[in-house]
Amino acid sequence: MSRVLFLLLLAACPWVYAQSKAPPKSGQCTACHGVDGQSRIPANPILRCQHEAYLVTALQAYRNGNRKHPVMNNIANTLQPKDINTLAAWYANQPGCRK
């Protein structure tokens, strides 16, 4: 039994490690997009394992207003270009993504 628990803990390590490295600003995305970008709410897109370049482009477009969505426009305005790159890389490279 304890061997099973040990294996479960071991299996969870990549996830725990990734969460521990979550970029600070990802906290404001969690409620809508889930802790690792795997949104459970159909209206909110899944970010987990998305292409990094796509996420960068989408966030830049919300930030400069080329893509319009009131909620995301407001949120993207709080992000610096560096934050956008960090968040995109983090969501795109969650444990278990097939690349």
Give me the residues that bind ligand HEC (CB under 6 A), please: 25, 28-29, 31-33, 43-45, 47, 55, 58-59, 69, 71-72, 75, 87
Token couple for 69:
């969505």
Would you say 68 or 99 has its CB closer to ligand HEC?
Answer: 68
Would you say 6 or 77 has its CB closer to ligand HEC?
Answer: 77
Give φ, ψ of 86 to 5 degrees.
-65, -45
Token couple for 10:
């071991």
Output the smallest distance, CB 10 to ligand HEC, in A: 30
Would you say 35 or 75 has its CB closer to ligand HEC?
Answer: 75
Output the smallest distance, CB 17 to ligand HEC, in A: 20
How far is the C-alpha of 49 from the C-alpha of 95, rounded, in Å? 9
Would you say 45 or 95 has its CB closer to ligand HEC?
Answer: 45
Output the smallest distance, CB 32 to ligand HEC, in A: 3
Close Cβ partners of 73 (under 8 Å, ≥ 6 residues apart):
62, 63, 65, 67
How far is the C-alpha of 67 from the C-alpha of 13, rounded, in Å? 37
